[in-house]
Structure 1
């Protein structure tokens, strides 16, 4: 039995081979609905199965995209990856997910491995330590999208939260409730300052000043996950301890909640808490924790769409940094001070 070819489909549908090829690659920009339906009907009638390997070799495309995530533990990372994968798979592109564990050397090796696998593009939550490698990709007009973080000296398509606005929103909520002694608890900035942590720290200082509140250096905490318990003990033992805590991300918030449960610190009666990142556990904690939500799924969807555009129009896109607005998710973890 003769193996069906793309030419057989084209002849039966009354279109050119290139039109069928565009249909198979989901390039519908200049294709009428009638033509799409006719080709789809012929493919189903003939039970035509395109040779994926042959197509990849001919097009120099693998229909795979690499995702390198700085830390897969974050709520943001998980939600973004889910959205990216869903959107790319709907366009016939598979993803390879790699977790760099905040390790620049590991990230660099993943970049090399994925390029060797000839993935069509990279979506990266960067550690911030590989500007040379990324600039080489940009010079080669290789599709590259950054998520959540920026890298000094690298200009590419980037998507992240408006971090300063997120902190301002949290501080504003606490100030409206009468709080003045507000502490910020963050993970370390890192050797190369990690964008969200740096911007949230900056946003905290600006927001406190704008609110007319004294900036107390003892309330500005930047410690490792392992040291959060000791740092909370120090904060609450101060002569004037903070009445409210702003957790800079979901990992910090989780450690705060572990601590208050262990030490029987009552939220919000003894300590008001707001977390940045809309972690699921914040909604099932009693009381429900007020959070500043990142539109993580929407960010992932947009990243996938930008990647698809970069692959289709290789080298023609203008690098843009997209900032997404946060939103306040009201809980019961903020006490009103009379």
Structure 2
């Protein structure tokens, strides 16, 4: 009878099954083609009876694989980032990989610190929704050669595959829609545009339709709701049909109450990039851009698994997942 207070080792399993440690190791790693069905069944029975739990660290040393994929998102508070992670996980687990979530919390330095810690661990691959805009900055913190894929944003000097939305096209489609509806002026509300590819593409598209669009940049970390609404009220012309175009879901949520302000022109409309259905509970008349981050994550998951299977070098190739409006 097995002593339940004793930790069962792979050697104990091998002795009980009457096979070598190497044979048990092959069984644990799914190499069933290297043994008979009878032997495999016997090993499984012994493992169940003895309550053997494989040592993950030991297995990693033998296989040189952790079966874990590091996923770094910009901010887990964003519905977009959480859905992105879910999409990656839904695909990764089909091949026995476990995605591990890391949060950059909208902080470029924290992102680099997290990447450095990931580099010190035995992760098989990295998927990142980057805050830093230059791949060379990120590359300095990754010394191990593992498959890397970026998602949602394009990077300067990147050699990594990338999954993004058609940001320019969809923002232009939305802008043209409201132009045809008679909206004469646009106020773009965004975090600082800087060199962030998604924001650049969206702003460019809107201004290609509305050259006189006003851009209001805000710090998403500040409690900007009332302050921002007051600022917008001061900027808009109450005699015109005005469109407020928010480039991030949290901004859309904070601005949703703008339409209820009595001092605001009732011809004013809000649109923007957002995913969660809660916004439609606030105002069912809103029409929003939806990028389908789960699908983007699933696409990223498929691509990173392909890289892991082929063991090929990272090659810069962009995959576009079309958004909807």
By the TM > 0.5 criterion, same fold?
yes
Partner of 1:179: 183
Partner of 2:283: 286
Whether 1:321 and 2:323 are equivalent positions in the alignment is no
In the alignment, the residues of structure 2 paired with residue 159 and residue 38 of structure 1 have an alpha-carbon distance, to the nearest angstrom, of 45
In the alignment, the residues of structure 2 paired with residue 232 and residue 40 of structure 1 have an alpha-carbon distance, to the nearest angstrom, of 69
Partner of 2:306: 309
Stretch moving more, 57-66 or 308-317: 308-317
Which of 205, 212, 219 in structure 2 is aligned with 1:216? 212
Superimposed CA distance per residue, residues 176-200 of structure 1 (whole angstroms, 9 cap, x where no aligned partner): 323232332222114xx21211110
Partner of 1:62: 66
In the alignment, the residues of structure 2 paired with residue 318 and residue 151 of structure 1 have an alpha-carbon distance, to the nearest angstrom, of 13
The 5 A counterparts of 1:1-338 are 3-5=12-14, 23=30, 45=45, 47=47, 50-129=54-133, 131-136=135-140, 141-190=145-194, 193-206=195-208, 208=209, 215-217=211-213, 219-225=214-220, 226=224, 228-236=228-236, 238=237, 241-263=240-262, 265=264, 269-328=266-325
Cα distance change of structure 1 residues 51 and 101 upon mapping to structure 2, 3 Å threshold: closer
Give 1:17 deviation, angstroms: 8.6
Count of residues in correspondence between the two structures: 304
Give 1:317 deviation, angstroms: 4.9
The DSSP-based 3-state class of the residue aligned with 2:92 is helix
Cα distance change of structure 1 residues 51 and 323 upon mapping to structure 2, 3 Å threshold: same
TM normalised by structure 2 equals 0.79
Stretch moving more, 40-49 or 271-280: 40-49
The DSSP-based 3-state class of the residue aligned with 1:188 is coil
In the alignment, the residues of structure 2 paired with residue 298 and residue 39 of structure 1 have an alpha-carbon distance, to the nearest angstrom, of 42
The two structures, once aligned, show a CA RMSD in angstroms of: 3.4
Give 1:42 deviation, angstroms: 6.5
Superimposed CA distance per residue, residues 122-154 of structure 1 (whole angstroms, 9 cap, x where no aligned partner): 111111255335335788542111111122112
